[in-house]
Chain A
Amino acid sequence: MDTGRYAKLFLSESRENLSEINNALLELERGGSDTAIARLFRAVHTMKGMGAAMGYTSVGELSHELETLLDKLRNGALVVTRPIIDTLFSGVDALEQAVDLATGAAPQQLDVKEIMARIRAASSEETPQTFTSEFAIVAVDRKAPSPSAPSVQAAQKTPRHIRIDAKRLDTLMNVVGELVIARDRIQKIAEQLGDESLLEATLRASQILATLQNEIMTSRMVPVWQVFERFPRVVRDTARSLGKEVDFKIEGREIELDRSMLDEMGEPVLHLLRNSLDHGVETPDDRERAGKPRVATLILTAERDRATVLIRVTDDGRGIDQSRVLPRAKKLGLVEQGTTKLSEQELISIISRPGFSTAEKVTEISGRGVGFDIVATRVRALGGSLEVHTDAGLGTSVAMRLPLTLAISRALLARVDKEVYAIPLTHVLETFSLSQPMLLESKGRQVVAIRDDLFTAIWLRERVGLPPAASAASGQVVLIELAERRAALIVDEFIGQQEIVVKQFDGVDASKTLFSGATILGDGSPALIVDASSLL
């Protein structure tokens, strides 16, 4: 068998199985019994079969050992204890490693002897059939599974799906983008000709095309649980290593986002969760002293709000203490000395500064205040924004507001000389016509005066290596903003606003930092998308 060809498929199916195993284990740990064990058994059994078929001996053998242990739990020969759960978690971690190694660039088999011996020891332990052990999670049936259990039937009725290489969807998206451009051209020609029936036919084709575009956009949408489902395990492990107790909930897992966005948002969400566990949530003893339940609550919510998605991480921890942030902020000169209370907006801009932290202890989990500024930077790069709400002593809620897709965004099209560039609207505050009196010099720099403020003048011409315009004081100004920094970008002329499909290209050196991508204009020619962060 050509295993190389199947390795990718194996990897993606293994990931699904492993995450199912992890979630079932977490359920078992929380006190779930028969159904959790049955789920575990099924998923491990699948892994065993797939591993053996691919010739991945480490995966096959390890799964077999886990299966033996799970079988004993299933038929009651063993009871679930804390050591057994820990052994299962370790076994699953090893299984994950074995999968990664076997499917890596240089495939190899993980040495699983030691972990297999551990699992075997656990499954051969003659656990007496008593339920007196402190950790024993009673394996008596609460709901006796009957042959026609409704859950089994429901599982069989799930909608039918097929696997498609994501690249195919990207290609479809591209082709539809081309069609839209071609339609615009046909429409123009039809208008010039003024032929009634041609115009009518064009209109009809446009409507069908709009439906097609919408369908393809929809087929690229992926529910957030695909990213969220690995978080329960991460939260559990992080909380345990920090000695904290937390009840983690996920809400809105069915909310959908474009694949391009989903791929990008996992990391920032993980940062927020870790930040909450590390800095927000108190130790059980501290919580008790503060009159709160020992177990903290951490909630991850996804919520659709028109064309954006809100991803929120809420904890009932200690909150961000203004009395600790303020002195630091004053010391760093971020706020005026007389300030007594920070607005939420000020708070965000202060805590998202690189290196800002009030944590006294540097921990491995979220490092030295580098968590939040990474999140802020990523979210802005994705065209989104952050909202923070905090009550000292009661908890913090951080929300990321993200556009539904990265693939399509709105941009301002601007011309310099004979070239057209796209400026993403996410960074555009306002636009003005440039006139001579607005151009000033301040501290040796050229600035543009807008109302009572002065902004550094940036000529797009100069940035793209074109000679200066004949008259410096003509053209249009785009006030751009990124992370509290603003500047006046000067272009020759605005052409208009347009929905653009963002495409990647092979750039070289400087061109890679100057532009964040390229798009295709109505006339079919490529236009570069200016990266605002490189201008400021």
Chain B
Amino acid sequence: MSDAVALPPEQVVEEEPHVPTRRLLVFNIGDSSFACDMDSFREIVPMQHITRLPGAPDTVRGLINLRGTIVTVIDGGTSLGKLARGRAEGLILLVDYFDRWIGIGVDDVRDIQDVPIDQFGAADQAEIPLVGAVTGAVEIEGQRVLVLDIKTVVQQVIGQGR
């Protein structure tokens, strides 16, 4: 172990006790930030023409054409109980849902962060109106951010779909 001294400093750092991390995508809706596992997302596309879906609740924005596939887009603000519908959200996050995609409209993507799992804290389920969607909370740049299970969010809004 004495030759460890000769190793470049960055490799020594790797030898330290390692806490696994989770890669989170942090996005904004109004004044709130939320985070989800990066793996849940397939793609991020800019907001585009959305065809309104009559008969659907406020939590559903409508349909977009994604390279020939019709994708249903959920209204992020309304679904997460933060803001009223009808604002022009800037981005659509595409989520793998069963064997297809569902879009979620958000204002902005703030960051992608690797957060050590020991920094995940508990959060109150009642903070958003979707049962079981909150899996915890993390602190990012001094702000408390709710960590969501995005599949649960989608399921609560559109059920099994099809």
Contact = CB atoms under 8 A, between A and B. Distances in A.
A514 interface: yes
A223 interface: no
B70 A526 contact: yes
A419 B53 CA distance: 11
User: Which of A419, A505, A520, A524 is the most central at the interface, judged by chain B CB atoms within 10 Å of its CB?
Assistant: A505
Contacts of B67: 174-175, 178
B68 A174 contact: yes
A503 B51 CA distance: 14
B18 interface: no
Interface string B18-34: 00000000000000000
A503 B69 contact: yes
A509 B55 contact: yes
A520 B49 CA distance: 12
A343 interface: no
A506 B73 CA distance: 9
A520 B68 contact: yes
A465 B55 contact: yes
A122 B71 CA distance: 58
Contacts of B157: 508
A132 interface: no
Interface in B95-118: 97, 100, 102
B88 to A, nearest CB: 17
Interface in A485-506: 503-506
Contacts of A465: 54-55
B70 A464 contact: no
Contacts of A174: 67-69
Contact of A503 (B57, B70, B97): B70
A504 B70 contact: yes
B79 to A, nearest CB: 12
A369 B6 CA distance: 89
B134 interface: no
B63 A505 contact: yes
Given A503-B70, A518-B70, A526-B70, A508 B53 contact: yes
B52 interface: yes
Contact of A507 (B53, B64, B69, B100): B53
A509 B55 CA distance: 7
B60 interface: yes
Number of chain B interface residues as a range: 20 to 34
Interface string A99-111: 0000000000000
B65 A511 contact: no
A463 B54 contact: yes
Contacts of B5: none
A164 interface: no
Contacts of B70: 503-505, 518, 520, 526
Interface residues of A, number: 27
A173 to B, nearest CB: 9
B72 interface: yes
B72 A510 contact: no
Contact of A508 (B56, B65, B71): B56
Nearest to A505: B70
Contacts of B161: 506-508
Given A503-B70, A508-B159, A524-B65, A514 B54 contact: yes
For the residues of A in contact with B, the DSSP-based class is mixed
A506 B102 contact: yes
Contacts of B128: none
Given A174-B69, A520-B65, A526 B51 contact: yes
B72 A507 contact: yes
B157 to A, nearest CB: 8
B83 to A, nearest CB: 20
B56 A509 contact: yes
A463 B54 CA distance: 8
A504 B72 CA distance: 10
B47 interface: no
B55 A510 contact: yes
A511 B56 contact: yes
A526 B54 contact: no
A506 B157 CA distance: 11
A507 B53 CA distance: 8
A241 interface: no
B68 A178 contact: yes
A510 B68 contact: no
B91 interface: no
Contacts of B159: 508
A528 interface: yes
Nearest to B49: A525
A505 B72 contact: yes
Contacts of A511: 53-56, 60
A177 interface: yes
A177 B68 contact: yes
Nearest to B69: A174
A528 B63 CA distance: 9
Contacts of A464: 54-55
A508 B63 contact: no
Given A509-B57, A511-B54, A528-B51, A504 B162 contact: yes
A527 B63 CA distance: 9
Contacts of B162: 504-507
Contacts of A526: 51, 63-65, 70
Contacts of B130: none
Contacts of B102: 506
20 contacts: A178-B68, A464-B54, A465-B54, A506-B158, A506-B162, A507-B53, A507-B161, A508-B53, A509-B56, A510-B55, A511-B54, A511-B55, A513-B55, A514-B54, A524-B65, A525-B65, A526-B51, A526-B63, A526-B64, A528-B51
Given A509-B56, A518-B51, 4 more contacts: A506-B161, A508-B53, A524-B49, A528-B63
The 6 A-B pairs at the shortest CB distance, nearest first, are namely A510-B55, A506-B161, A174-B68, A511-B55, A464-B54, A178-B68
